[in-house]
């Protein structure tokens, strides 16, 4: 593995520390009037999502974790695991739901995603900014109820419940933001 110094830090970089695998969310080089310089960082554990604030001495060395992004196509859920296919080798990979976390709410069969891999371990999924999903269940909009910004719950094909405007009906396709799970717009 590659050794890096605190002077090489960049936001989004992943480092392998004794406490686990962490992604740098934020960092700041500090040079006080007295004493040596240091780097104050905010780190996010890529496996658990826990956030850690840590201070390193300037020039301290550590292992950089090389994260491999593999382009995969989501095929189906076999009842226990989610099955992905490597688009280059056509090799299939079964992934446990707890490894994927909340991203299972946005996985639609035959859509492409990037699986983030550290060696042979899957540490995350890189989704597109938004996905198009079909509404499978929602209440009909009440005629004359035109309150500005009024919303109603709608269940999409993955089981995720999204708050949508009153005019959106069952069977329509909508765009959903994968970062927040919010309704964006109707899809054509």
Query: What whole-number distance in Å separates Cα of residue 6 and Cα of residue 22?
Result: 14
The predicted structure's pLDDT at residue 175: 93
The model's pLDDT over 107-119, given as tens digits with 9 standing for 90+, comes to: 888 888 888 888 8
The predicted structure's pLDDT at residue 148: 66
Question: Is the domain of 60 the same as that of 73?
Answer: no
The predicted structure's pLDDT at residue 144: 60
CATH number at residue 178: 2.40.50.140
Strands 92-95 and 38-45: unpaired
Of the residues 11, 34, 64, which one is the last residue of a structural domain?
A: 64
Q: Which pairs count as long-range contacts for 118-124, CB under 8 Å and 24+ apart, including other chains?
A: 118/14, 118/21, 118/46, 118/65, 118/66, 118/67, 118/68, 122/95, 123/21, 123/46, 123/47, 123/67, 124/46
> Helical H runs in the chain?
97-100
The predicted structure's pLDDT at residue 7: 86
Question: Is the domain of 144 the same as that of 177?
Answer: yes
Of the residues 64, 84, 100, which one is the last residue of a structural domain?
A: 64
The predicted structure's pLDDT at residue 83: 92
The model's pLDDT over 140-170, given as tens digits with 9 standing for 90+, comes to: 876 665 666 788 899 998 889 999 888 888 8
Query: What whole-number distance in Å separates Cα of residue 172 and Cα of residue 154?
Result: 11
Question: Is the domain of 41 the same as that of 78?
Answer: no
The predicted structure's pLDDT at residue 116: 87
154: buried, middle or exposed (CB in 10 Å: 19+, 13-18, 0-12)? buried
Of the residues 18, 38, 64, which one is the last residue of a structural domain?
A: 64
CATH number at residue 10: 2.30.30.30
Exposure string for 46-79, b = 16+ CB within 10 A, e = fewer? beeeeeeeeebeeeeebebbebeebebbbeeeee
In which domain, by residue range, is 117 found?
A: 68-126
Question: Is the domain of 103 the same as that of 134?
Answer: no
Question: Is the domain of 9 the same as that of 58?
Answer: yes
Q: Which pairs count as long-range contacts for 178-186, CB under 8 Å and 24+ apart, including other chains?
A: 178/103, 178/106, 178/127, 178/128, 178/129, 178/130, 178/131, 179/129, 181/105, 183/154, 184/130
The residue ranges of the chain whose pLDDT is under 70 are: 1, 142-148
> Domain count of the chain?
3
């Amino acid at each position: 593995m590659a050794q890096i110094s605190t002077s090489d830090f960049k936001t989004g970089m992943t480092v392998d520390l004794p406490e686990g695998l962490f992604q740098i969310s934020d960092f700041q080089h500090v040079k006080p009037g007295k004493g040596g310089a240091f780097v104050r960082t905010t780190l996010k554990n890529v496996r658990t999502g826990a956030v850690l604030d840590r201070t390193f001495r300037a020039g301290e060395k550590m292992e950089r974790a090389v994260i491999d992004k593999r382009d995969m196509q989501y095929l189906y859920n076999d009842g226990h695991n989610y099955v992905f296919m490597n688009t280059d080798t056509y090799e299939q990979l079964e992934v446990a739901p707890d490894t994927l976390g909340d991203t299972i709410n946005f996985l639609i069969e035959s859509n492409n995603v990037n699986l983030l891999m550290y060696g042979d371990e899957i540490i995350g999924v890189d989704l597109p900014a938004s996905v198009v999903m079909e509404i499978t269940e929602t209440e009909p909009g009440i005629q004359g109820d035109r309150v500005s910004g009024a919303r109603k719950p709608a269940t999409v094909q993955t089981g995720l419940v999204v708050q949508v405007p009153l005019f959106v009906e069952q069977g329509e396709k909508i765009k959903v933001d994968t970062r927040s799970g919010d309704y964006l717009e109707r899809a054509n």
